[in-house]
Copies of this chain bind each other. A is one copy, B any other.
Amino acid sequence: MQQDIYAKLSKLGITLPPVATPAAAYLPFAQSGNLLFLSGHIAKKDGLPWMGKLGSTMQTEQAKSAARAVAIDLLGTLDAACKAAGSDLNGVKRIVKIMGLVNSTESYTEQHLVTNGASELLAEVFGNAIGGHARSAFGVAQLPLGACVEIEMIAEI
């Protein structure tokens, strides 16, 4: 029997943030059929862009924490997207895919370890059967507002 996701979040000490307000002229999510497409969310700390570049001003472990924080923000948006669709996080059938963008120098090669911060949080919250997902992770030249990490998500309800 499927565990209640909100009880799981509470047990993990996670409070869902309100749906993130996009920094520009787009929406936090869009639904098509059973798929919810969540916009790329940049890492934030105390409500401000969490700035940093891997390979120069930030280390892998700290960026992994930032990726985990982005995943929590994505869950806040996913919660709103599910509710807009007349469901909630317990109605998530599958986390389908995430794309992890890591602000990297030309020589930094641990984008997969950084993005694990998000992947592991999703598995903790939803379990492997629902939370297990496809993924791409790579190093980008820069991100909006200088953020260290940006992640987008596709989920199925």
Contacts and interface: CB of A to CB of B under 8 A. Distances in A.
Contacts of A38: 134
B34 A33 contact: yes
Contact of A106 (B22, B24, B27, B105): B105
A5 interface: no
A32 B120 contact: no
B25 A141 contact: no
A109 B107 CA distance: 19
Interface residues of A, number: 60
A39 B136 contact: yes
A20 to B, nearest CB: 12
A107 B144 CA distance: 10
A138 B140 contact: yes
Contact of A143 (B27, B120, B139): B139
Q: Which 10 A-B pairs have the closest CB atoms?
A: A40-B136, A139-B142, A26-B135, A112-B144, A25-B119, A30-B134, A139-B141, A37-B134, A24-B112, A39-B134
